[in-house]
Structure 1
Amino acid sequence: MKSNNRREFIKNSSLLLGGLLLNSSKIFSREDAALFSTKPFLGEIAIFSFNFAPKNWAQCNGQLLPINQNQALFSLLGTTFGGDGQVDFALPDLRGRVPIHVGNGHILGQRSGEQAHTLHMHEMPMHKHAGKVSVVQKIGGNADQESPVGALPGKNDNHANRFSASYDEMMELAIPAAGNEGTVGGSQAHQNMQPFLTLNFCIALVGIFPTRN
């Protein structure tokens, strides 16, 4: 008895769903449902795990297509991704790039970012380096001259030469402060990429022309 009720429920549900698909213009007809299940939207981008573009698809490599052979697709893309708009137009180029959604100041087709980056002075945080200089100069000599001009005062044990005149000006000592300096760093670019997995991005060249809501 329960089995018969279950079959009857499934049958009625199938009939109800079929009626909705066939008779309601607010959902989909059976033909529409089949169409959507087999055809992509024109210009749709999909990700594949194999390394080639399926039939009626092209890899997103930025290649140029002739407008006269792809008028419907050109009417959607225009020159957003390149091309002269007279003879040809370009497909999106996703080679080595990560797609982001439009908004927050980013417009459709905008390209930015770099795979590797070299820091500039204005990008470095403010900082300073402490330095210390020590200067040592030994001065020595004996008072063995009678005139103090250009000589150093000192001790003489035999007291033979005593200076009775006043000293001249003290001589000047020029002591250079020498230190070591050098350039550090190699000015090499650093990797600027997040962890990634490479897949195959393709765009549909044939499909359902999208309409606005």
Structure 2
Amino acid sequence: MSAPYVGEIRMFGGNFSPAGWMFCDGAQVPISNFETLFQLIGTTYGGDGQTTFNLPDLRGRVPVHMGNLSGTSFLIGELAGVETVTLNTNQIPTHSHALIAATGTSLASPVGNFPGPASSTSGGVAYGPGPINTTLAPSTIMPTGGSQPHDNRQPYLGINFIISLFGIFPSPT
């Protein structure tokens, strides 16, 4: 394998970081030990810039190339995105919920204001008993759901990202 550039990031399938490399886990490291790497990345990923700087932290993150794409700007070192999302009403497609009453039950007078079978021999479905303006149980006609966030991650495979501490100093083109 060719010599790496200082600051080069690679995926690595091992459960350790090879000599001359460290995990991209946001570790704070002393500038005095890795001056060349500090010249390249500075405090982009954290640190005080006097005695320490941080390595990139790719734990639980998907790397995205910096730059502009379709009006979206990605800055080097920028953290964005969320793991879970709670949808709002305006994010759900327009739809309706059917009001369905059960037939074939033995309860001719439903309790709790749920629809049930009519007491007549017609086999119809009634909302009774009660006055004409009986309020149905909210769970039969009202919105439902717990407004709980749901997972928002694409399928993934856990793998280590490592950064080269030493190597060839990259020259800009």
- Alpha-carbon distance in 2 for matches of 1:97, 1:209: 27
Match of 2:77 in 1: 109
Q: 1:123 to 1:84 in 2, by over 3 A?
A: farther
- The alpha-carbon deviation at position 185 of structure 1 amounts to 1.1
Aligned length: 142
Q: In angstroms, what is the RMSD of aligned CA positions? A: 2.8
Match of 2:163 in 1: 203
Please show how residues 119-138 of structure 1 align to structure 2 within 5 Å: 119-127=87-95
> Quick one: which of 17, 22, 44 aligns to 1:53?
17
Segments of 5+ residues of structure 2 without an aligned counterpart are: 100-125
- Alpha-carbon distance in 2 for matches of 1:187, 1:210: 49
- Alpha-carbon distance in 2 for matches of 1:73, 1:135: 74
Identity of matched residues, %: 44
SS in 1 for 2:32: helix
Match of 2:35 in 1: 71
- The alpha-carbon deviation at position 210 of structure 1 amounts to 0.8
- Alpha-carbon distance in 2 for matches of 1:85, 1:207: 22
Please show how residues 61-210 of structure 1 align to structure 2 within 5 Å: 61-103=25-67, 104=69, 105-127=73-95, 176-182=133-139, 184-210=144-170
- Alpha-carbon distance in 2 for matches of 1:187, 1:128: 18
- Alpha-carbon distance in 1 for matches of 2:167, 2:51: 22
- Alpha-carbon distance in 2 for matches of 1:121, 1:113: 21
- The alpha-carbon deviation at position 122 of structure 1 amounts to 4.1
- Alpha-carbon distance in 1 for matches of 2:58, 2:146: 31
Match of 1:43 in 2: 7
- The alpha-carbon deviation at position 126 of structure 1 amounts to 4.4
- The alpha-carbon deviation at position 176 of structure 1 amounts to 4.1
Letter paired with 2:135:
A
Greater shift in the superposed pair: 176-185 or 82-91: 176-185
Q: 1:195 to 1:175 in 2, by over 3 A?
A: closer
Which structure dedicates a bigger proportion of its chain to helix?
1
Whose Rg is larger?
Answer: 1
Runs of 4+ residues deviating >6 angstroms: 134-138
Q: 1:62 to 1:178 in 2, by over 3 A?
A: same
Instruction: For residues 70-107 of structure 1, give each alpha carbon's deviation from its aligned partner in whole angstroms, at most 9, with x where no partner exists.
Output: 22111100111122222311111111111111122111
Superposition TM-score, scaled by structure 1 size: 0.57
- Alpha-carbon distance in 2 for matches of 1:88, 1:70: 10
Which structure dedicates a bigger proportion of its chain to strand?
2
SS in 2 for 1:202: strand
- The alpha-carbon deviation at position 128 of structure 1 amounts to 5.5
